Every structure is written in C-alpha cells, then in structure tokens.
Chain A
Amino acid sequence: MQHTATQDTLVGLFVAAGIAGLFFLALQVSNLSSFGDKDTYTVTASFESSGGLKVKSAVSAAGVKIGKVTDIRFDPKTYQSVVSMAIETKYNTLPEDTTASIFTAGLLGEQYVNLEPGGSEDVLKNGSKIDITQSAIILEKVIGQFLFKSAEEKAQGDKKE
C-alpha cells in the first residue's frame, strides 16, 4: 500500500510541524526558557517608592537579567514598599551591601531593579534584606521640580535686574 505509506508520512510531518511550532513558541518566543524551574533564592528590599515596578519585572546586575520580582507589598509600619526578588542560585556571590535601585529601561520602557554589588565579604542569602536602596524616579516629580527650579531662577534673575 504505497498510498497509505505516503499519507502516513505526510500526517506525521504535519503533526511534527505543529508540535515544532508549539515548541518554537514555548522556547523562542516566551519566557519559559529563561526562567523555568531554576533554583532561586529570595531577598527583599524596601523602597520609598517602587514606582511602576510590577511582579515579574526583571532584576538585573550589570545589565544582565539574574532574577525577577516576585512580590510587591506596602509595609503599613514604615510606609515603604517591600519588594521581594527571586534571584537565580548560581548568582549567590552578591555582597551584603549591594545597592538596589529602580531604573527605567529607556524613556518609556519597563521599570526594573538594578543591583549594584558593594564590597562586603558576606553575601546575600535566602531571606536577606538589602538595606541600601534607591527609589524609582517618578517623572512627574522630576518635571515638577525642574519647572519649580526654573521659575525660581527666573524670579531671582528678575530681582537682580
């Protein structure tokens, strides 16, 4: 049965192509490959303001993604935003005095947490807290300050004349 064999081959190719398409979507298009079930440890950091940071935002060091934000909560005692981050276990040499800052990727981009290693001998462990933090820059505030400042300068300039 030549005909049946060809048909079987074609059906097989079709199913294989469909599954290959799904695998392509899973591995190349989505974040499945970058963060599967990799081992992570959790550290927290308190920020004055976490701005537009979201759960699943990236945590990076020197521009390389090393983890992601798992939880953002408001602490009713300190009035700060407590951000929990899961960092891959293979990056377990971050010093204890690492600085965590919230940056924006590009002008309109996503916000992410940037970790800048300090010089301490002790390293961050599961459950550690990062003490040195720098809050998100809120664009409205910056623009407000800028406008206020330029208005003030103008007023002073007018006085001198």
Chain B
Amino acid sequence: MQFFQRLGASTRTSFTKLGRATYFLLQTLSGILSVLPRPRLLMNQLFSVGVLSFLIITISGLFVGMVLGLQGFYILSDFGAEESLGIMVAASLVRELGPVVTALLFAGRAGSALTAEIGLMKATEQLSGMEMMAIDPIRRIISPRFLAGFISMPLLASLFSAIGIIGGQLVGTGLLGVDDGAYWSQMQNQIDFYDDIINGVIKSIIFGFVTSWIALFEGYDAIPTSEGVSRATTRTVVNSAFSILGLDFILTALMFGDD
C-alpha cells in the first residue's frame, strides 16, 4: 500500500513540476519583448553565456574533428576509400556531433553556471528583493539569459562544426596524406545546404531552447539552501543531457528519415 502511495506522490510532484516549468517558460517568453528595449541586459548575458563558452567549444571542436579524421581514415582506408574522408567528417559533424556535443558542453559550461547563479540569487533573497521593488525578476533576470542561450547555441554549434571540419582536414590531408582537393570536393558534392546544414542549425536552436529552459527553471525552482542549489545544478546537467540525447534521436528520425 505504501508503495502505491509513494508512486502516486511522485507522479503528483513530477506533474506539478512540469506544470510549473511550463508556466515559467510562458512567463519567460512573454518577458522577452521587454528585453529588447534594454539591449545592455542581453549583451551582458551574451558575454557570460556565449563568449565565455567560446574557448571550450573551439578547442573541443578542433579535437573532435581531428579524432574523426584519424578514425575515419583508419576505417575508410580498409575499403580503399580515403577520399571519402571529407564527407564522413563533415556529415557526422554537421548532422550530429556539432549540435549534440555543443549542447552537452553548453549545458555543462553555461547551463550549470546559470542554475547556480539564479539559485544563489534566490537563496540570498535577491529575487524577492526585486519583487519588493516592483521589478519583475523574470523580465529582468530570466528572460535576458534565456534569449542569450537561445542566440548563442546555433552560433556555437556552427563554429564547432566549422572548426571540426578544419581539424579533420589538418589531420587527414596534413598528416595522413589524403588529397586536399578530394577532401573538399567530395564534401561539397554530398553535403546539401538545406538537408544537412540547415537541419543541423535547427537542431542546435532546439537544443539551445531546451537547455536554457532547463537551466533557468532548475535555478528558479531550487530549494533556497546551499544543498538545494547544488542539487539543482546537478539536475540541470543530468536533465539537459537526457533531453538533448532523446530529442536528438527524435529530430534525426524526423529530419533524415526520407533519404
């Protein structure tokens, strides 16, 4: 009996949390319009969310591309198809690894920071302080951060893919002796702008939306104690990773199903 009681209770809490998260999202989205007249708020957040993630994204992109170049070369040379290295590196980066790895890194680098920041603001009663001064913390604090995450994500993902492809080229043509012309021309023949690149960008926009939503909501919904904030930070990273990978499967099935 006690088992069913606990099951019921956990169902109820997860549903109320989902409801709170949806309500929070609607409030955040309606707050975005009031961010536009104050670009300074957005700039600050673009700096801390985007610019500070820049280094980790570019370096990881370079190394992921280089590893793809190496592994791809070893596998493809078994079939005598080293010339297809370019298309393999580019397709895996543009379609999958670019958006997904960027989103995972983004959740770890920027998402956790957002949760901790907002959780601490709540714990130190800065958010209630703002409400006392008739400033809506959602509009002032949450919406600019959400918008910044939403804007940064596709930029970071494009950068990741571009740097990864250059990394693959460095290893493939510089180190392993794949023909430079074949690397690029096979890639250009096979990668379609709309089917591959635009779909990759759409993926990263969706991931940016979800990751920012989770990070901000967990911070806003955190129990205002040090332990609560630390748990919320962990939940941000775990939940973001789950949502990104799950959504990625669904999006891939929808986007690349036909061909």
Contact = CB atoms under 8 A, between A and B. Distances in A.
Interface of A: 4, 7-8, 10-11, 13-15, 17-22, 24-26, 28-34, 56, 58, 65, 106-108, 110
B242 interface: no
Given A22-B158, A25-B158, A29-B165, A14 B191 contact: no
A21 B158 contact: yes
Judged by DSSP, the binding face of A is helix
Contacts of A65: 189
Contact of B43 (A8, A22, A30): A8
B50 A11 contact: yes
10 contacts: A11-B47, A18-B50, A18-B156, A21-B155, A25-B161, A26-B197, A29-B197, A30-B197, A31-B189, A110-B189
Contacts of B154: 18, 22
A107 B79 CA distance: 11
B192 A30 contact: yes
Given A29-B188, A30-B191, A17 B90 contact: no
9 closest A-B pairs by beta carbon, nearest first, are A18-B155, A21-B162, A21-B158, A21-B159, A32-B193, A30-B193, A22-B158, A24-B162, A30-B191
A37 to B, nearest CB: 12
Given A7-B43, A14-B51, A25-B197, A31 B158 contact: no
A25 B94 contact: yes
A17 B184 contact: no
Interface residues of B, number: 36
A31 B193 contact: yes
A7 B159 contact: no
Interface of B: 40, 43-44, 46-47, 50-51, 54, 79-81, 83, 90, 94, 152, 154-156, 158-163, 165, 184, 187-193, 196-197, 201
Contacts of B44: 7
B156 to A, nearest CB: 7
Best-surrounded residue of A10, A15, A21, A33 (most CB of chain B within 10 A)? A21
B181 to A, nearest CB: 13
B188 A14 contact: no
Contact of A10 (B51, B184, B187): B51
A131 B190 CA distance: 29
A107 B81 CA distance: 10
A25 B155 CA distance: 12
Given A11-B43, A25-B165, A33-B188, 19 more contacts: A7-B43, A7-B47, A8-B43, A11-B50, A13-B51, A17-B155, A17-B159, A18-B154, A18-B155, A21-B159, A22-B154, A22-B158, A28-B184, A29-B162, A30-B188, A30-B191, A30-B196, A31-B190, A106-B83
Contacts of A18: 50, 152, 154-156, 158-159
Contact of A25 (B43, B51, B81, B162): B162
Contacts of A24: 162, 165
A112 to B, nearest CB: 10
A34 B51 contact: no
A32 B160 CA distance: 20
A28 B189 CA distance: 11
A13 B52 CA distance: 12
A105 B164 CA distance: 27
A32 B194 CA distance: 9
Given A30-B191, A30-B197, A14 B162 contact: no
Given A7-B44, A11-B46, A29 B187 contact: yes
Contacts of A26: 193, 197
Contacts of A108: 79, 81
Contacts of B43: 7-8, 11
